[in-house]
Amino acid sequence: MDFEFIKKLTGYSGCNLELLSSGGGGFFVRKSSAGPTYKKRLRSQCLKQAAFFKERQKTPVLSPEVLRYGIEGENFYFDMEFVRGKTLAEFMPVASISEITYFVKILFSHIYNCDAVENTKANTIFRKKISELAENIKMSEPIRKSLALLKSFDWRYASESPCHGDLTLENIIVAPDKKLYLIDFLDSFYNSYLMDLAKLFRDLELGWSFRKQPVSTNRSLRLLIAKEAIMRELAELENAPQIIT
C-alpha cells in the first residue's frame, strides 16, 4: 500500500511521529521508535493502546484506533487513526469553567472505571524501582529523604489495574464533539489507576505540560480550578473501586 507523507509532527515521547495520507483524503499518524533499543517498549505501548480502544469504544474517553503495526528496518512502528482536535494542554487556557469541570468529571470516571486488584508483590516491585532510581540520579539531601520515605511506604495499597501510564494534559486530545482521546500510552514497571491520578495531579499542580512555556496567570487559575474539581470528586466519592483479593 502506498502512503503519501504530509508532515512531521511534534511530540515529547522520543519517537518519530509523521502524518501520512492513504489517499482519498484519509489521514493517519505513524509512530516509530527512534532506534532498536526502544523497539520492544513501543510495541508494548501499541498493544496497550489497541486493547484500550477495543474496551472503550462507547465511552466519552477514547483512544485512536491502531490500524496496523510492524517492523521497518531496525524500528518498530504502528499506524493509528488521526484525530482532529487540540490537546487538553492547548485547550485549557481558553476553556470555560463548565468545560473544565466537565472534562474533570469524565476523566475521573475513566480513571475509576476499572477493577483494582491487590498485588501481594507490590512492596517488592516498588522498592526495587526506588533502589534503581537511587543508583541513577544525583543525590541531594531532600531527594535522599524523599526516597527513604517512598521506600518505607506500604505499597500494598497501590492496587493494580489498567492505566494509561502517562496521563498528562499533553496526552489528551479534545475532539470538536468534546470527546477526549488518550494518546502516547506508556508501558510501566507497575500499572495502577493511582499512577494516572498522580500524573494528572502533577500536571495540574506543577504545570508539567507547560514546562517550556512562560508563566501565565490565566492558565494557572484554570489549572487550579481543575485541581479543585478533582479534589471535590475524590471527597464525594462513595463507591471507589473495590480491591479484589
pLDDT in tens, 191-228: 998 899 999 999 999 999 999 899 999 999 999 999 99
The rounded distance, in Å, linking the Cα atoms of 157 and 136 is 26
Only one residue has cell 472503550, namely 56
Choosing from 55, 81, 107, the residue where a domain stops is 81
- 211 and 229 housed in the same domain: yes
Give the 3-state secondary structure of residue 191: coil
**Number of domains the chain contains:** 3
Choosing from 157, 172, 207, the residue where a domain stops is 157
Least confidently predicted of 41-45, 65-69, 171-175, 210-214: 210-214
Confidence of residue 237 (pLDDT cuts 50, 70, 90): low
Residue 98 contacts residue 223 (beta carbons within 8 Å)? no
Q: Return the C-alpha cell found at 181.
A: 482521546
- 205 and 109 housed in the same domain: yes
- 204 and 113 housed in the same domain: yes
- 23 and 59 housed in the same domain: yes
- 108 and 143 housed in the same domain: no
Q: Which pTM does this prediction carry?
A: 0.89
pLDDT in tens, 125-163: 999 999 999 998 888 999 999 999 999 999 988 889 889
Of 206, 208, 205, the closest CA to residue 171 belongs to 208
Look up the CATH number of the domain holding residue 90: 1.10.510
The whole domain housing 49 covers 4-81
- 136 and 234 housed in the same domain: no
